[in-house]
Amino acid sequence: MQGWVKLYRSLLDDPLWKNSTSNQRSVLIAILLLANHKSNEWEWQGKKFVVSPGQFITSLPKLATKSGKGITVQMVRGSLVRLSKLGFLTDQATEDGRLITVGNWVKYQDEKTSTTDQSTEGQQTDNRPTTPNKNDKNVKKNSDVDFKSLFEYFNLKSGKHFKDVESNRKLVRARLNDGYSKADIKRVIDIKSAEWRNDPEHYQYLQPSTLFAPSHFDNYLNQGLPEPQGLRKQRGFAERERTATDAAAEQAADLERLEEEAKRRLNE
């Protein structure tokens, strides 16, 4: 088996990886390496079966062997159950084998998104690899990011004083490598600064490690901008004013009814 797969650094911060044992991680990597990168034909369950990208046919013993030394069939079975519950894959089992399908394969591994140009059967020219290092693409993608200006903007909007240091930069790089844009980064800064800057309870969370975390970023990006505080106060004042006016009108109507009732009784 030849070729390669993409492995994003943001996986390190994903609970799928962080909360897995070393054995479960070995199985996960083996599954990524075994999955077909293009459609292929197999004979499965006594009939011809077309395996789509991200799928492959295997067995528990074979997957245990491919996962490395010390990995047992029982470990593989437990890993498949866990990865299935987390939505990483689906697993169909029969007496003859298992069809494993990696979720979101096209999104993360589609060769249309890569810049790989391989020569015939892995040949090399002038003893140099013909496949570009995938880090080159990330470097180009992040080379035009003015981190100094970005964190100045962050501090201006949030009222904080974060520095342009590598620990903060790598959070931004990770989101850009996930496919988000610089405009998305700024939008999240705008949204959460407007929401939390004047909120004593949440102001402490107005920091790069929270806003740009892989588990939070997409949710924050899809929030709407909160209503400006001045407009909110103005609307609240108008509502209170209307309430007071309505109360005065009701009181006047009550007095009028009482007067009419008193006049009616005097005339009886």
- Give 120's contacts (C-beta < 8 A, 6+ positions apart): none
The closest alpha carbon to 16, from 106, 83, 91, 104, belongs to: 83
pLDDT level of residue 171 (50, 70, 90 thresholds)? very high
- The answer, yes or no, to whether residue 246 has pLDDT greater than 50, is yes
Q: What is the pLDDT of residue 263?
A: 72
Axis-axis angle for helices 182-196, 147-158 (nearest 10) = 20
Write out pLDDT tens, residues 57-104: 888 999 999 999 999 999 999 999 988 888 888 988 766 678 899 887
Q: How confident is the model at residue 245 (pLDDT cuts 50, 70, 90)?
A: low
pLDDT tens by residue, 215-232: 889 889 998 776 555 555
Length, in residues, of the chain: 268
**Given a cut of 80, is residue 19 above it in pLDDT?**
yes
* Spatial distance between the Cα atoms of 11 and 13, rounded to a whole number of angstroms: 5
End-to-end CA distance of the chain: 107
E strand intervals along the chain: 40-44, 47-51, 55-58, 89-93, 98-102
pLDDT digits 0-9 by tens, 37-54? 888 776 656 677 777 888
Show the DSSP H helices in 86-216 as ranges: 105-109, 134-142, 147-158, 166-177, 182-196, 208-211
